[in-house]
Amino acid sequence: MNRQTQMLIFNLVFAQAESQKSGEEGITSPTPSDTSTPSPESTPPAESQLPSSGAPGQVIPAPDEPKTNAQESTPNTKPKSPSVEAKASSDEGQNSTDRNGAVNRDESDQQAVIVQPTLSDKNAEKGPAEALWFDFPTIMLATVVLVVLGIASSVAHYLTRTPNPLINPALVQRFVHRLWAWWLMFAILIAGLFMHRIGTIILFGLVSFWAFREFITMTPTRRGDHRALFWSLVVFTPLQYVLIAISHWNIRPDESIDLYGIYSIMIPVYASLFIPARIAMAGDHKRFLERSAQIQAGLLICVYCLSFAPALLDLRLSTSEGEPWNGSNAGLLFFFILISQISDVFQWTWSRIKGNRIIAKDVSSSRTWEGLMGGSLSTGIVGALLFWVTPFTPWQAASMAIVVAWLGFAGGMTMSAIKRDRGVHDYGSLVLGHAGVLDRIDTLCFSAPIFYHLTRFFFV
């Protein structure tokens, strides 16, 4: 088919479409018989130019005439050509795509806003060491303790300056000495907490070292025990706290290692087996079992048990409903130490007020059944009042406080029995007014591992 035939067919189709359009709009377009030669205005596009003399039957479309207002207001109901319909469909598809794209963008923006994590979610995802260290409840608890110590100091100063014949001066002097010991403990604890997690662990490591030293100084040793004591003081004691310190450190981004399975058995298993073996290698068999047991007991009580107190800082805690707890683990540690010390004060006070039945006179004449029961209930009430600094509910905080009180009583009785066995009154004289370090932390040593594991089992 030559080029002229193609152009003829194209003009016929185009003229028919224009005639239908003109018929609907009331305008008659020229027919093929009226059109003989093409005009300059009706020349087809440049890419399809025609020869100067039109071929027979060739139709040239007439130029479009301007529409009147009536024609503009008349709705256009003419059928669309396939090319026009295809173009309209493509335009509608593009508009639909644009609208869908806009809707999808709006939905994605809404989803982005919805899934943005809140501050509590970010704190829950962070490790305990990365989360908020001093939160408001912890600061409030430290402030309350500071105010109470200040009021107690004022009372002690008044009783010292104005003696009362109804009050035993020895009790006043004992109260003043204990008050100074509490001030010292409070200052050391706050200083350790200000150094954050590592500083707190180092603080407890030094306390364990000094308490273990007091325990070993009180017990008789022989020359063959020196190497075993060196390993216990210089190797196993620091290693226990080093394992706690590096536990939960990020070895890779978003990946940490939990060393609980190592530091929870290192002293009870490995150190307990190493100590008698090392003493036996020294070649001294006299009182071998007694000497081995003394070092093992001191390492277990003064180092292993106390190390679970700073280990509380690594727990990822949640409430009893399973929701992440957004509080500070430092506040939980403060709560535990405060409760253990308060329980000792309450038990001593109740024994003085209404103490008739002594539990073990040859071990501790100041501990009575009335003091134990009254002190435990009083400690439980205080624990329930301080629940807001812990992940516990009030009754859970009261239960944990009572458990701490009973275990603190067991620790005090055990350490008193050891002192009576050795014929000493106090373990040392580091803390003014209340003997040595071990005399002040005996309640902590026995209650720390139980408090830690109860918290780990029910609130992690």
Minimal CA–CA distance to 170: which of 41, 436, 424, 352?
352
Per-residue model confidence (pLDDT) at position 191: 86
The C-alpha atoms of residue 194 and residue 17 are separated, in whole angstroms, by 90
**C-alpha angle 363/367/373, rounded to 5°?**
140
Do 18 and 142 lie in one domain? The reply is: no
Do 401 and 297 lie in one domain? The reply is: yes
Per-residue model confidence (pLDDT) at position 59: 44
Q: DSSP letters of 257-304?
A: ---HHHHTTIIIIIIHHHHHHHHHHTT--TTHHHHHHHHHHHIIIIII
Residue 104 lies in a domain: no
Measured torsion, CA atoms of residues 412, 387, 400, 127, in degrees rounded to the nearest 10: -100
Ramachandran angles phi, psi of 436, nearest 5°: -95, -175
Per-residue model confidence (pLDDT) at position 47: 41
Do 183 and 324 lie in one domain? The reply is: yes
Do 178 and 254 lie in one domain? The reply is: yes
In this structure, are residues 190 and 143 in contact, taking their beta carbons and an 8 Å threshold?
no
> How far is residue 82 from each of residues 245, 249, 366, measured CA to CA in Å?
78, 70, 108
Burial 45-57 (b: 16+ CB within 10 A, else e): eeeeebeeebeee
Do 52 and 145 lie in one domain? The reply is: no
Do 220 and 308 lie in one domain? The reply is: yes
Residue 180 lies in a domain: yes
Q: How many domains does the chain have?
A: 2
Measured torsion, CA atoms of residues 335, 337, 341, 343, in degrees rounded to the nearest 10: 50
Residue 59 lies in a domain: yes
Do 200 and 336 lie in one domain? The reply is: yes
The last residue of one of the domains, among 18, 48, 70, is 70
Query: Which tokens belong to 356?
Result: 């008739």
The last residue of one of the domains, among 54, 70, 86, is 70
Per-residue model confidence (pLDDT) at position 1: 52
Residue 112 lies in a domain: no
Per-residue model confidence (pLDDT) at position 159: 83
The alpha carbon of 431 is separated from its chain's Cα centroid by a whole number of angstroms, namely: 35
Do 184 and 44 lie in one domain? The reply is: no
The C-alpha atoms of residue 2 and residue 113 are separated, in whole angstroms, by 65
Per-residue model confidence (pLDDT) at position 437: 84
Residue 320 lies in a domain: yes
Per-residue model confidence (pLDDT) at position 334: 94
Residue 77 lies in a domain: no
pLDDT digits (tens, 9 = 90+) for 98-123: 444 444 444 444 444 444 444 444 44
Q: 15: domain range?
A: 3-70
Residue 305 lies in a domain: yes
Do 296 and 200 lie in one domain? The reply is: yes
Do 207 and 322 lie in one domain? The reply is: yes
Residue 321 lies in a domain: yes
Per-residue model confidence (pLDDT) at position 77: 43
Do 158 and 293 lie in one domain? The reply is: yes
Ramachandran angles phi, psi of 256, nearest 5°: -130, 165
Which pLDDT tens digits describe the chain residue by residue (460 residues)? 556 666 666 666 666 666 665 555 554 444 444 444 444 444 444 444 444 444 444 444 444 444 444 444 444 444 444 444 444 444 545 444 444 444 444 444 444 444 444 444 444 444 554 456 778 889 999 999 999 999 999 988 888 887 777 777 777 887 888 888 888 888 888 888 888 899 999 999 999 999 999 899 888 888 889 999 999 999 999 999 999 999 877 766 667 788 999 999 999 999 999 999 999 999 989 999 999 999 999 999 999 999 999 999 999 999 988 899 988 999 999 999 999 999 998 998 899 888 788 999 888 888 999 999 999 999 999 999 999 999 999 999 999 999 999 999 999 999 989 888 888 776 665 555 556 788 888 899 999 999 999 999 999 8
The C-alpha atoms of residue 432 and residue 428 are separated, in whole angstroms, by 10
Do 403 and 293 lie in one domain? The reply is: yes
The last residue of one of the domains, among 15, 40, 70, is 70
pTM of the model: 0.70
Per-residue model confidence (pLDDT) at position 182: 84
